[in-house]
Structures are given as structure tokens and as C-alpha cells.
Amino acid sequence: MSSFGIYLIGFLVLVSGLAYAAFLLGAPPVWIGTGAIVLIGFGIITGVGKTRRRDETATSE
């Protein structure tokens, strides 16, 4: 499995735990869903940034 896949699975587990905790605290479901969507988007953005390969530049000597 790729590094991005592992990162995304871990982030989804984190978001699920936070959503469940918010549910137990009595937060409205609309806000739980909104927060989960925002966090998943943030997770994808950071996951791509951490796991993408850097472009190799040709050095002219």
C-alpha cells in the first residue's frame, strides 16, 4: 500500500473518532458532517503534500 493510502486511512480513523466524540457531546449532526467534510479535505491536501514525489530538475553544467 502506498504512503498516501496509509496516511489517508489513518486520517479517516482520526476524523471518525472526532465525529463520534462530537456526537456523544450532543453537537448537531449538520455541524458534525460539515466538520468531517472539511477535515477530510484538509487530510487529502496534507497527504498529497507529504507523500508526493518532488520534480527532478535537470542541472545544466
At 10-20, the pLDDT tens digits run: 999 999 999 99
Please state, in angstroms and rounded to a whole number, the distance separating the CA atoms of residues 50 and 7: 9
What pLDDT score does 55 carry? 65
Question: Which amino acid type is present at position 22?
Answer: A
The reported pTM is 0.76
Q: For 39-51, write each residue's pLDDT tens digit.
A: 999 998 988 888 7
Average pLDDT, the chain: 88
Determine the number of helices (DSSP H) and then strands (DSSP E) in the chain: 2, 0
CB burial readout 12-29, b (16+ within 10 A) else e = eeebeeebeebeeeeeee
